[in-house]
Amino acid sequence: MASQEQGPPVLIDTPVWKDYFRREERTFSVVNGLMDAGRICCLHLVVAELLHAAKSEREMKVFQDFTQVFPVLREPPAAWVDAARLAFKLRRKGGSLCLRDCYVALMAKAHGVLLYTTNQALHRARRAMGLNFFRQRMVSR
Domain with 22 in it: what CATH number?
3.40.50.1010
> pTM of the prediction?
0.89
Integer Cα distance of 136 and 71 in angstroms = 21
Phi-psi region of 49 (alpha: psi -120 to 50; beta: other; left: phi over 0): alpha
Residue ranges, the chain, pLDDT below 50: 1-4, 140-141
pLDDT at 73: 97
Domain that holds residue 26: 10-74+111-138
pLDDT at 140: 45
In the chain, how many domains are there? 1
Integer Cα distance of 6 and 36 in angstroms = 10
Residues 48-66 have pLDDT tens digits of 999 999 999 999 999 999 9
Report if residue 95 sits inside a domain: no
Report if residue 60 sits inside a domain: yes
Residue 10 pairs with which residues in a beta bridge? Answer: 40, 114
Report if residue 101 sits inside a domain: no
Residues 18-33 have pLDDT tens digits of 999 999 999 999 999 9
Q: Provide the 10 A C-beta neighbour count for residue 65.
A: 11
Q: Provide the 10 A C-beta neighbour count for residue 128.
A: 15
pLDDT at 5: 54
The DSSP output letter for 56 is S
Report if residue 130 sits inside a domain: yes
